[in-house]
Amino acid sequence: MFPTEKEFNTLEDFDYRGKTVLLRVDINCPLDKQTLKIVNDSRIRRVVPTVRELMGKNAKLVILAHQSRKGKWDFIGLRQHSEFLSRHINAPVKYVDDVIGKDAVEAIRSLKPGEVLLLGNVRGLDSETAKGDMEAHANGEIVNALAPLIDYYVCDAFGASHRSQCSLVGFQAKVPSASGRLMAKEMFALNAIFSEPRRPSVFILGGAKFGDVSDMIERVLGNGTADTVILVGLVGNAYLLARGVDIGQASSKILSEELTPENLQAAKDVMEKYGQKVLIPVDVAVERDGRRVSVNIGDMPTKEPALDIGDASAEKFAKVIRSSKTCFMSGPAGMIEKEDFAVGTRILMEAMVDSGGQSVIGGGHTGGAAERFDLADRFSYVSTGGGALETFLLGEPLPVIEALKYSKKKFGA
Ligand code: 3PG
């Protein structure tokens, strides 16, 4: 199920001295909605070892990354990201708000060994997100423009490794490629923990996206990776709805586009099949008169949206988690941006680290929340992946890893 490191090249496999290296990272960060400032830079910090190592090897380092996607409020350029990176590596990071145009090409050509350049948000180009496999993207405009300027391609974008997008899978067929340190570390850490989980193993699935959750439950309970699955956050609300609880219009509205009859049926089916192995909230927390109030599901619907699991659910789930030996949390239990509704997530995370077992978190802004609660260092592993982590756990191939394997076969090490 899990690829081994040497199926693809890693940083030590090439000599980068004086060479131009294109490094694709995932530094897609949560922003403040009002100021558009980065509120958590953990993904930037996590690629620093790779950046430093390549600088230390005197590569001319060109970094490519995305922030959000077109049409979303947090789709912005990467100047701020370059400033954060510069502070973390304690060296200048040049920034050019261009990816394949004249400015980018000139900036790449004038790089000196040991220097770092960050290009603009690659998702500004429609060709980046155009549907296509490795072969199609290998002939895309981004690869056509940049491949002739580089000697090596390194991918450290684990968080985006489930995406088959041009800058993630297109270069591997054109230039010798390797994974960065973070990518390799994620693959190994997750493999070590999930290939032989200690029992009981509990999966907490939360966050906002619930379209794939029934597949995920089927997979982890079906193959025995998990003994119990706990559903929280918007995922929990959706499963309450599938169970026949009237969660009210305000809560349903937030679920919007993923609230399809197929998804609800899949949720029902998986709950029926696995019974008590799938735990859903017994209460939710809403904001009433400016305060957090827990409401039992028997007293729903509420006119206010459910913003977190309620206190009784948090207590019930924490008990299960405390007696686990492996616990994985993907996505938060509530609206963690609001202190009162970060309560559920904090209680579950505290139970995870108190369990003394293997504990892994990832997804959405979960890593950032753990840092805010001062718990991040107490987990066995904090993954930078959200969708990528889920794809990995579902045992589905990650397009970036497949492309890296292809590159090794084509170019060797
Ligand atoms: C993420 O944050 O999960 C990655 O950066 C991928 O982003 P995407 O879901 O917009 O493709």
Q: Averaged in consecutive runs of 10 residues, what is the pLDDT profile of the chain (413 residues)?
A: 70 97 96 94 96 98 97 96 98 98 98 98 98 96 98 98 97 98 93 86 90 91 94 96 96 85 96 98 97 97 97 98 96 93 98 96 85 95 90 89 97 89
Ligand 1: residue of 24, 28, 74 to mutate (most ligand atoms within 8 A of CB) is: 28
The atom of ligand 1 lying closest to the CA of 159 is 4
pLDDT given for residue 364 in this prediction: 64
To the nearest whole number, what is the mean pLDDT of the chain?
Answer: 94
163 C-beta closer than 6 A to ligand 1: yes
| Rounded Cα–Cα distance for residues 189 and 39 (Å) | 26
CA-proximal residue: ligand 1, atom 10 (nearest): 68
Asked, as a colleague might, if the bond just before 197 is cis with ω within 30 of 0, I would say no
Q: Which residues contact 269 (CB under 8 A, 6 or more apart)?
A: 214
Residue 344 near residue 318, CB atoms below 8 Å: no
Phi and psi angles of residue 287, each rounded to the nearest 5 degrees, phi first: -95, 115
Ligand 1: residue of 40, 44, 66, 131 to mutate (most ligand atoms within 8 A of CB) is: 66
Ligand 1 centre and the CA of 383: distance in Å?
13
Helix (H) or strand (E) holding 369: helix 366-372
- Go through 104-115 and write b for each residue having 16 or more CB atoms within 10 A of its CB, e for each that does not: bbebbeebeebb
Q: The whole model's pTM is what?
A: 0.88
- Name all domains of the chain by residue range, CATH numbers in brackets: 5-186+397-411 (3.40.50.1260), 199-356 (3.40.50.1260)
- The 3-state DSSP composition of the chain as helix, strand, coil percent (nearest 5) reads 45, 15, 40
28 C-beta closer than 6 A to ligand 1: yes
Count other C-beta atoms under 10 Å from residue 31's C-beta: 19
Ligand 1 centre and the CA of 159: distance in Å?
7
The atom of ligand 1 lying closest to the CA of 66 is 5
Ligand 1 centre and the CA of 281: distance in Å?
27
The atom of ligand 1 lying closest to the CA of 69 is 10
Looking at the DSSP assignment, which residues form a beta bridge with residue 12?
none
| Rounded Cα–Cα distance for residues 82 and 225 (Å) | 39
Ligand 1: residue of 25, 26, 73, 183 to mutate (most ligand atoms within 8 A of CB) is: 26
Helix (H) or strand (E) holding 50: helix 48-56
- Go through 144-181 and write b for each residue having 16 or more CB atoms within 10 A of its CB, e for each that does not: ebbbebbbbbbbbbbbbbbbbbbbbbbbbbbbbbbbbb
26 C-beta closer than 6 A to ligand 1: yes
The atom of ligand 1 lying closest to the CA of 26 is 5
Tell me the residue type at 303.
Answer: K
